[in-house]
Amino acid sequence: MKQIFILIVLVLNLTSCLHTKNQSSKKKNMTSDMISLIAIVDLKNATKDGIYINGYVVEIDYEKLKKLNGKKVNITGMPTTIQGIENSSKEDAIGNQEQGRLQNAIHIKSPTIEIITD
């Protein structure tokens, strides 16, 4: 009985350590603060992931981009660094999201978009 209790305690401790490690690896790709960008949407900068704005890849659906084309917008969101091919490692191939660019890309996922009227 004593051995079963010790085994259960060890398994619970191991599980909590693994969970903490997974959380910290996810957080290392997140930058610390929300950012806000003001720009005019231009479909020429659209990609399969969204649109390039001020050096960031803002993940916006193409249909929504067509509606915003030519408009001045305020985009707010949390930037996340996605490893490029040159900077990826075996660990990235297993757990973290990869992308097809050579260099790292900073994505803004689920942005808040506000149209600015002058």
Number of domains in the chain: 2
19 in the same domain as 39: no
99 in the same domain as 58: yes
pLDDT tens-place string over residues 33-48: 899 999 999 999 998 8
61 in the same domain as 102: yes
58 in the same domain as 42: yes
pTM over 0.75: no
pLDDT tens-place string over residues 50-62: 999 998 999 999 9
Kindly list the distances between the CA atom of residue 43 and the CA atoms of 20, 46, 91, 113, 118, in Å, as whole numbers in the listed order: 41, 5, 35, 16, 21
- Domain coverage including residue 16: 1-30
109 in the same domain as 57: yes
Do 49 and 107 meet the contact criterion of CB atoms below 8 Å apart?
yes
Kindly list the distances between the CA atom of residue 31 and the CA atoms of 8, 21, 47, in Å, as whole numbers in the listed order: 37, 18, 22
22 in the same domain as 60: no
61 in the same domain as 16: no
